[in-house]
Structure 1
Amino acid sequence: MIFETHAHYDDKMFNEDRESLLDGMQEAGIGRIVNIGADLASTASSIALADQYPFVYAAAGVHPSDAGQLNEQTFQWLGEQAEHEKVVAIGEIGLDYYWEKDPKARANQQYWFRRQMNLAREKKLPIVIHSRDAAKDTLDIAKEEKLSEIGGVVHCFSYSVEMAREYLNMGMYLGIGGVLTYKNARVLKEVVDYAPMDRLVLETDSPYLTPVPNRGKRNSSQNLPYVVMAIAEIKGITTKEVEDITWENAVKMYRMSL
C-alpha cells in the first residue's frame, strides 16, 4: 500500500467526482492520505474530509501566499483546529517568493512562517514546509527556529543536493512527487539518489504536478505508482520496497500508529 503524504482533495477540481475517487483509493492501493490545509477554508475542509474517511488525515496551516489571512484571531482559530484528533501536522507553511515580490509582503510571510512553526512546537506536531524561490530565507528561518526540534517534511523538494543535506541533517523528510518523472528533473534525481531511503516520502500535491505519462491532466494519488517506479529505478530496489519504506517513513514523520 502507498501512503500519500500531501494532497488537496478539497480543491474545486475534484468537485464533480470527489466521493467516487476517494471511495476507490484503497482498492487502488492508496492506504492513507493526508489532505493539506493551504488557507483557513481548506484547513476546515481538510478536517471535514478526514472526519468523513477513516483513511484520510489532515494538516492545518496557511500557505505563504495566503499569509494575509492571518491575524491574532484567525491564528487562534488555527491553533484550535490543530487539536483535532485527525490533524497530524501544521502545514503547508513557509515562503513563496515566486509570485510575491513586495518586501513587506515577504516579511509578513516570514513572520507567520515563524509563528506557525512555533504553533507546531506547542502542539507537538511536525510541519509541512512549502518553499519556492526562497531557499536561503527558508533555511535561515529553519535554523533560527530550531527546526530540528520540530520535524516534518519539505514538500515538493526542488532545491539542490547541498540544500537537501542541510535539511536531512536537521532530521527532515523530503517530499517526492510527479516532478521526479519529468525530463528536466536532473537535480531532483540527484537529490533522490543522494538522500537515504528512510528520509523520502511520497506525495502528489493533487490536483497539481501530475507525473509522466499523465502530465497535463488532473493529478490524483492513483498516479503515485509512477513516482514509486522512478524512485525504485534510481535506488536500484523493488517498487514494493519503495512502497514499504516510504509508508514507514510517513508513519514516523506524522507520528501515527502503523
Structure 2
Amino acid sequence: MKEHMAQFRFYEELNDFLPPDQRKEAVNYSFNGCPAIKDPIEAMGVPHTEVELIIVNGESVGFEYRLRVGDRVAVYPVCESLDVLPLVRLRPEPLRRTAFVLDVHLGKLARILRLLGFDVLYRNDFNDEEIIRISLAEHRIILTRDRPMLFNKIITHAHWLHSTDAEEQAVEVLQRFDLFGRVQMFHRCPVCNGFVQPVEKEHVLDRLEPLTKKYYDLFFKCSDCGKIYWQGTHYDRILQRLERIRRS
C-alpha cells in the first residue's frame, strides 16, 4: 500500500506531549489508507482529551475526519473559556457544572481545590478504571498526571496537569477551565468534600479544647464528616495562600 504524507502543527500546551524536535514546528506525518484524524493525533503523542479544535486546510473538522494526502492540519488545545462555535466542537459540550475527580497522585491539589470551593472527588486508592467510571457517571472532569489514561477512547473531559507543584496545579486548573469567578473559599471541607456551614458554639462545646473555647466564638461544621473548623492561628496562612492562587 502506498504511503501518504500530511503535515501537522500543534499549538500552545499540546507541544508538551511532543518530542522536543517536533514542538512548535510543522511535522510531516506518514500514513497508509485513510485513517480518522484522531488516530494520527494520538499516535503522535497527544491525547484526544486535550484537543478542542482541529483545522484541516483552513476548515474545522471533527475527530471522524479521514486524513488525506497533502492535508495541512492545525491542532489546538481545549479552553473551556473559549467558545469555538460555530466551529466543530470535539466533545458534546463544556461541563458547566464544574466537578472533578482526581488521580491518586493529586491529594494536595484536591485539598486546595476544595478550599477554593470546588467539588472534588479524591481517594488515594482510586484506580484508573474507577476514575473513568466516576467521570462518565457523574459528569466529572478527570485531573491527572497519568498520560496513558487520557488515551482511553471513552473519556470525554479530562486534563493532564503540566506542573508537579500543587499550588501551580491549582492555578493551571483555574486558568484552563476559567474558574476564577467561581471561587468560594472555605465552602467545602478539605478532608471529605462536604459542605461547611456555620454552627452554634454551644452545639460543639464538648468537642473543643479549653483554649479554643476561651478565645474563639465563630465555628463551622462539615455536613458530611462532622469536622469542626474555626479561624485559628492557621487561618491567615491558608487565606494568604488561596488569595495568592486566585490572584494568579
Relative to its length, the structure with more helix (as a share) is 1
Larger radius of gyration: 2
Q: TM-score if structure 1 supplies the norm length?
A: 0.27
Q: TM-score if structure 2 supplies the norm length?
A: 0.28
Whose relative contact order is higher, 1 or 2, with alpha carbons under 8 Å and at least 6 apart? Answer: 1
